[in-house]
Homo-oligomer: A and B are copies of this chain.
Amino acid sequence: MSQAKPRLLKGFRDYLPDVELTRRDMLDRVTTVFEGFGFGPLMTPAIEYADVLLGKYGEEGEKLLYRFPDNGGRDVALRYDLTVPLARIVSMYGDIPRPFRRYQVAPVWRAEKPGRGRFREFMQCDVDIVGEASIRADAECMIVGLEVLRALDVRDVVMRVNNRRILDGMLDAIGVTEREPRHAVMRAIDKLPKIGRDGVAAEIREGVGLDDAGLATLFGVIDRKIAGAADLEALRPLLGDSEDGARGIAELTELLGVLDASGVAGQVAVDLSIARGLDYYTSTIYETFLVGHEEYGSVMSGGRYDTLLGMFLKESLPAVGISLGVDRLLAALLELSLITPRKTAADVFVALFDPEGYAEHVKLARLLREHGLRSELSLSPDKLGKQFKLAERKGYRYVMLAGPDERARGVVNVKDLGSGEQSVLALADVAQWAPRFNVGR
C-alpha cells in the first residue's frame, strides 16, 4: 500500500473526542428543545444537482460552491446551506402537511478563504417553519431560540429584532429605489458592528452614491432607540409615505405585543440597525447576543423569507427560521464556563489488575454500567502505575480496581485522581455511590 503523507486540507477541521463530546452534549440539548416544540429532523444528501443550488446565493456565493462533474458526468455540487435543500424538499414532497416544521443539523461546504473562525466545512443548525404567514410563526422561532439558550443555561442574552420593511421604508424615503443598491445598503448596515458608522457611511456613499442628507436620514432611523409601540409609531414621519415602511411598523408592533404577552419580551429589544447580510429576508429579522460578550457576534440569527421558496414552486410560500451558530456558541459556552467540557466518554476507568481476572473485570464494568456508570475497561494488565497514568492522560477522574482479593470480598478500590483519595466500595453499594461520584448526567 502507498505511503501517503497524512494531512488535513486547509480550512477543514478534525474534531477529536474531547471537543466532539462537548459539542454533541450541546447539540443534544439543542435538538431536545427543537423536538419539544414539534420540529422534526430532516436529512438531505451532501451532493445536489448544481442547478438546484445555482442562482440562490448571489454571484459571490456561487463562486464558493464545491462544484464538480460526478462519475457519470452530472454537474453536481456540495450543499452550501440548509435552506435551499429545505426549499427543494417542500417543493418535491407536496404531501408534507403544512405548516412544516423541521430542523436540520448538518455540515455545509463553502470554498471560503480560510481565516480566523472561517472554515470550508462547518455545521449548520436550523429550524424553520414553512407555510405559516402569521406573525405567530416569527414569534415561535424567536421563542424556540430563547428556549434553546435557556436550556444551555445562557440566561443573559438579548435578541435584537428589526423588520426589513422598516429599512425598506427608509430606503424609499431617501430615494434608493433600485433592487441592487437597496441590497447594497442593507449589506453595508449589516457590517455596522465590524466597520463602524464611518465605515458604513463611506461604503454607502461610494457604493450607492447617497449624499449627506440621505445618510443623515438613514442614521436617524437606524440609531433610533425604540422602547415600545409608541416609539415605533413615532417613526412613521421618518419613513415618509412608504407603504412598506408602514407595514414594517405594524408588523413589528404586532410581534412585540405577542412576545410581551408570551412573557419573553424581557429578552427582546428592537434594534433598527439589524439588517442581516442575506438578500432574501423580507420582514422580521433577528440576531442574538450574549450580554457583555457581544464580541462573539450573533449566536442565533434568522428571520422571515417569504419569497425564497418560490424558487422551486409556482406559488410563493411563507417561511421563517432561526439558525444557531454552533461553533461560536460552543466557543462562548466553553470560554464563559457555561458548559462543562466532557473530557472522557465514560465516567470511570476500570484498571485491569491481572489478565486472569479479565472476565471478572468485564462483569464488573457491566455491573457499573447497569447502575448508570459509564465504564472504560482497561485491556492491558500493565503495571498499575502505568494504568493510572493512562487514565489520567485520558482525562479520567475515577479509577476502579479489583484484584483477586477485592473480587473475593465483593468490593472495589476507588481512586479519585483529583484528590488522590482512595476508598473501598462494596459492589452492593454501587447504586448509592453513583451519584456521589458526581458523574451523573
The answer to whether the Cβ of A202 comes within 8 Å of any Cβ in the partner chain is: no
Q: Are B137 and A379 in contact (CB under 8 A)?
A: yes
With A71-B66, A111-B71, A393-B97 as known contacts, state yes or no: A12 contacts B45, CB within 8 Å. yes
The answer to whether the Cβ of A414 comes within 8 Å of any Cβ in the partner chain is: no
Provide the residues of chain B in CB contact with A15, threshold 8 Å.
41-44
The answer to whether the Cβ of A29 comes within 8 Å of any Cβ in the partner chain is: no
With A4-B312, A345-B35 as known contacts, state yes or no: A42 contacts B66, CB within 8 Å. no
Q: Are B20 and A42 in contact (CB under 8 A)?
A: yes
With A109-B47, A132-B379 as known contacts, state yes or no: A88 contacts B6, CB within 8 Å. yes
Q: How many residues of A contact B (CB 8 A)?
A: 103
Q: Are B9 and A363 in contact (CB under 8 A)?
A: no
Q: Are A41 and B21 in contact (CB under 8 A)?
A: yes
Binds B, one of A51-59, A162-170, A228-236, A245-253: A51-59
The answer to whether the Cβ of A288 comes within 8 Å of any Cβ in the partner chain is: no
Roughly how many angstroms separate A120 CA and B393 CA in the complex, as a whole number? 40
Number of copies of this chain that the complex holds: 2
Provide the residues of chain B in CB contact with A111, threshold 8 Å.
70-72
Provide the residues of chain B in CB contact with A82, threshold 8 Å.
none
What's the nearest-Cβ distance from chain B to residue A398, in Å? 12
Roughly how many angstroms separate A71 CA and B43 CA in the complex, as a whole number? 26
Q: Are A38 and B363 in contact (CB under 8 A)?
A: no
Binds B, one of A184-192, A206-214, A256-264, A290-298: A256-264
The answer to whether the Cβ of A390 comes within 8 Å of any Cβ in the partner chain is: yes
Roughly how many angstroms separate A377 CA and B355 CA in the complex, as a whole number? 58
Name the one of B54, B70, B394 contacting A66, with C-beta atoms under 8 angstroms: B70
Q: Are A346 and B379 in contact (CB under 8 A)?
A: no
Binds B, one of A270-278, A368-376, A418-426: A368-376
What's the nearest-Cβ distance from chain B to residue A29, in Å? 13
Name the CB-closest residue of B to A137.
B379
Roughly how many angstroms separate A394 CA and B38 CA in the complex, as a whole number? 10
Provide the residues of chain B in CB contact with A74, threshold 8 Å.
9
Query: A1-45 interface mask toward B, CB cutoff 8 Å, 1 = contact, 0 = none?
Result: 111111111001111111011001000000000111111111111
